[in-house]
Amino acid sequence: MAITETEQVQVSQDMIAWANVKDSHKTQSVLYAKAIGIEEIPLQSGRAEECLKLNYDGIYGYLPKTLIDDYEFKGLQHFLGKEFEFVVEHVDLESQMFVGNRKKALDILAKKFWKQAKVGNNYEAFVRGIDPYNVYLIVDGVPTTMYRDEYSYSFIEDLREELEIGDIIDVKITKLVKPNQKYKKNNSRGDEVQETAGENGVLEVSSRLLQKDPWTNITNYKPKSTYLGTITKVHMEHGLFIELEPGLSVRTNFPPNSNGQLFKKGQQVNVKLLEVNPKNRRIKAIVITPKKSIGNRTTRRRGLVR
C-alpha cells in the first residue's frame, strides 16, 4: 500500500529528528524541546524519578528532575509548556525514547557565553526561582540574580506576583567578569577592593533598561497641578506609594485626619505635585481628599433626578 505525501513528510521529519537525537548523544550538541508532561519513570539506575516529558519534533524523551538544574525546585508544574535546552544522555531505540541532560547543556552554553558576551548585549533569561525581592535567572547557561529594582521602573512589592518559574524575560548585561578573573568593587564602607570572580564569574543584568524610561514623560506633569494617581502600596509608617503612570511614582504622607485604613492598593486618588525635580528624579506631592457633601444630595445622571 502506497503512503501519502503527508505520511512521507512525517517519516522524513522523524528521521531528521532521530538523526539529531543520535548526534546529540554522540557529540553533545545542544537541542531544544518543549515540556509537555510530567511522568515518573524508572531510569538506568532502576530508581523511579519524576521527569519532564519532552517533545522534540515528534520524538518523545524525558528530562529527569535532578538533571534540570542545580537549583532546588519544589515542583515541576510551572515548567509545562516551557522550552528546555538539553543534550542527549541516553537513547533507547527499542522504546523509541531518549533521556536528556540539561545540566550538561547549560555548561556547554556557559562556555560559549563567556567567549562572546559583552556589557550592553541583550539576552533571553530563564526564570529558575523567585522571591519577593529577587529573580534567579539563567542567561545562556550562566546563573545570576536580578534584584527587584532592575526588573521594572514601576514599584514591584512582590516579584512572585509578576513572574513564574520557567518564564523567559529579556535582559541587558550591565556587568561582566569572566570566571576566576580579578576585578575591582566597592565594599560596604565604599572603599575600592580587589576580588576574584568564582567559577560562575560575575554577571549582572537588568530588564528595566530595556523598557522606556517613564521620566521622559515628566514634562507632561506640572508643579502646583493635580493629577489622578493609583496607589501601589500602603505603608502605615511611610505613607502612600502612588503611580502617576507606570514607572513614574511618588510617595506621600497620609492626608490630615485620615489613617491608612481609608486607602488600599489599586485605589485611585488625586495627587497635587508640589515640586518636580527631573535631575534627581524626585517628586514631592500630597494627596488631596475631596470634601464630601453634608446632608441630602441630589444626583443627576443623564437627565434623571434621583
CATH number at residue 255: 2.40.50.140
* Whether residue 66 sits in one domain with residue 149: no
- Lowest-pLDDT range, 90-94, 173-177, 221-225, 272-276? 90-94
For the stretch 203-215, pLDDT in tens is 999 999 999 999 9
Identify whether 131 is part of a domain: yes
Between 247 and 81, where is the model more confident? Answer: 81
Identify whether 10 is part of a domain: yes
Domain that holds residue 26: 5-104
Identify whether 60 is part of a domain: yes
Among residues 155, 180, 210, the one where a domain terminates is 210
Residues 6+ apart with CB under 8 A from 45: none
Give the C-alpha separation, 241 to 290, whole Å: 19
pLDDT at position 293, please? 44
Identify whether 48 is part of a domain: yes
* Whether residue 91 sits in one domain with residue 170: no
* Whether residue 283 sits in one domain with residue 271: yes
Identify whether 232 is part of a domain: yes
Average pLDDT over the chain, rounded to an integer? 88
pLDDT at position 4, please? 63
**Interval 233-247 mean pLDDT:** 89
pLDDT at position 284, please? 95
Identify whether 173 is part of a domain: yes
Among residues 58, 77, 104, the one where a domain terminates is 104
pLDDT at position 301, please? 55
pLDDT at position 238, please? 87
Q: Is the pLDDT of residue 44 over 80?
A: no
Q: 38 is written with which cell numbers?
A: 510530567
- Lowest-pLDDT range, 182-186, 206-210, 222-226, 267-271? 182-186
* Whether residue 9 sits in one domain with residue 88: yes
* Whether residue 57 sits in one domain with residue 132: no
Q: Is the pLDDT of residue 157 over 90?
A: no
pLDDT at position 295, please? 45
* Whether residue 128 sits in one domain with residue 171: yes
* Whether residue 25 sits in one domain with residue 83: yes
For the stretch 250-279, pLDDT in tens is 999 998 877 555 788 899 999 999 999 998
Between 214 and 74, where is the model more confident? Answer: 214
Q: Is the dihedral of CA 136, 171, 124, 201 positive or negative?
A: negative
Is 159 in a helix, a strand, or coil?
helix
pLDDT at position 184, please? 83
* Whether residue 74 sits in one domain with residue 37: yes
Between 71 and 87, where is the model more confident? Answer: 87
**Interval 140-149 mean pLDDT:** 95
CB atoms within 10 A of CB 298: 7
Give the C-alpha separation, 47 to 110, whole Å: 30
Between 110 and 7, where is the model more confident? Answer: 110
* Whether residue 234 sits in one domain with residue 158: no
**Interval 23-47 mean pLDDT:** 90
Identify whether 68 is part of a domain: yes
Q: Is the pLDDT of residue 294 over 50?
A: no
* Whether residue 97 sits in one domain with residue 9: yes
Q: How far is CA 217 from CA 142, 223, 232, 243, 279, in A?
A: 36, 14, 19, 13, 14
Q: Is the dihedral of CA 235, 236, 238, 242 positive or negative?
A: positive
* Whether residue 220 sits in one domain with residue 206: no
Identify whether 300 is part of a domain: no
Is 46 in a helix, a strand, or coil?
coil
3-state DSSP of 114-137: HHHCCCCCEEEEEEEEECCCEEEE
What is the number of structural domains in the chain?
3
Among residues 192, 210, 228, the one where a domain terminates is 210
Give the HSE-up count for residue 294: Cα atoms under 13 Å, Cβ half-sphere: 0
Q: Is the pLDDT of residue 225 over 90?
A: yes
* Whether residue 197 sits in one domain with residue 263: no
Is 85 in a helix, a strand, or coil?
strand
Q: Is the pLDDT of residue 43 over 90?
A: no
